[in-house]
Amino acid sequence: MTTIQGPAIFLAQFIGNEAPFNSLVGICAWAKGLGYQGVQLPTSDPRFIDLQKAAESQTYADEIRGIVNAAGLEITELSTHLQGQLVAVNPAYDQLFDGFAPEAYRNNPQARQQWAVQQLKYAAKASQNLGLKAHATFSGALLWPMVYPWPQRPAGLVEDGFAELGRRWLPILNVFDACGVDLCYEIHPGEDLHDGISYERFLTEVNDHPRACLLYDPSHFVLQCLDYLAYIDIYHERIKMFHVKDAEFNPTGRQGVYGGYQSWVDRAGRFRSPGDGQVDFKAIFSKLAQYDFPGWAVLEWECALKSAEDGAREGAAFIRDHIIRVTDKAFDDFAATAPNPTLNHSLLGI
């Protein structure tokens, strides 16, 4: 069995314009001071990493890794959540998602998609140059407006949508494979890959590609009323990344899963800091240890109530206290007998 690595922290929600959150050096020193051992880097802010340069220059990649290592940290993975979203965008969301791309690609969905695909390919090579084994992203969504349709979906729409999603991602997955990096989709409402069934549909379209892996975040399953422990039993071979994020779902006579268009703090389902919600993290860490999860436990802060800095401070200790240092022996080894084929045969009557 394998001991999970950590604690680590996803930096996306902490980057800002004030020190120490406005530079890689500063934010790494801050994370180390809280007790983290690793950082997961978003790739949409060049103050922290220039993705293209990290893909094209081993020297630059070594410099980035050196900055992080000098703070006593490791880079756990890179993230292209925003760029991955733009690989597949339903026209209903074109204007809303334009802000995820540089200004030169806005109001031009085809150019924006081509930019996003190239970003993912850069991410594969950058991950390789940084010595990383997994990468985080979103699948994007062609079908999400049809998830609970009225009127009824036209026949064949879902099949066509997943076929197109597979066509867009297969060349990207092949680049990740050539670089020796697993591409981990965060299964997430708003994405075409939002539960197990949708993920399996996608796998069919990409020929069960070995690099089409999973980022496991139980908070998104709490809000969907999905069994997040059984999910690990089913998909553990594909789970290569882990976000430690809590959530709670408290339906009432007035609202349920959809939340009545309310802000996060007023919804029946909302994200919380680890330990403040309903996720059974003891069971999750046990299952991941049981299945030899190879990666890091990474805090993602998105709490509707608690401050980001308090969530980060408490999260390091929370993860550290939940990591199971796996045993290398069985509890009843003390009663074991030496190998004795003769005795075995006698006991079996053979």
**133, 180 contact by CB (below 8 A):** yes
- The CA-CA-CA angle for residues 6, 219, 99, to 5°, reads 95
pTM score of the predicted model: 0.95
Place of tokens 């949508």: 161
Can you give the pLDDT of all 350 residues of the chain as single tens digits?
899 999 999 999 999 999 999 999 999 999 999 999 999 999 999 999 999 999 999 999 999 999 999 999 999 999 999 999 999 999 999 999 999 999 999 999 999 999 999 999 999 999 999 999 999 999 999 999 999 999 999 999 999 999 999 999 999 999 999 999 999 999 999 999 999 999 999 999 999 999 999 999 999 999 999 999 999 999 999 999 999 999 999 999 999 999 999 999 999 999 999 999 999 999 999 999 999 999 999 999 999 999 999 999 999 999 999 999 998 877 777 777 788 999 999 989 99
pLDDT of residue 69: 98
How far is it, in rounded angstroms, from Cα 148 to Cα 36? 41
pLDDT of residue 57: 98
Q: Where are the beta strands (DSSP E) in 22-105?
A: 38-42, 74-80
| H or E segment to which residue 6 belongs | strand 5-10
How far is it, in rounded angstroms, from Cα 19 to Cα 144? 38
How far is it, in rounded angstroms, from Cα 133 to Cα 140? 22
How far is it, in rounded angstroms, from Cα 200 to Cα 240? 16
pLDDT of residue 153: 96
Question: Backbone phi, then psi, for 91, in 5-degree steps?
Answer: -55, -25
3-class state of residue 231 by DSSP: helix
In sequence order, which residues have a C-beta less than 8 Å from that of residue 283 and are 6 or more positions away? 229
User: Domain spanning 5-348 has what CATH number?
Assistant: 3.20.20.150
Q: Where are the beta strands (DSSP E) in 50-112?
A: 74-80
Q: What is the dihedral of CA 24, 25, 30, 33, to 10 degrees?
A: 130
pLDDT of residue 1: 84
pLDDT of residue 7: 98
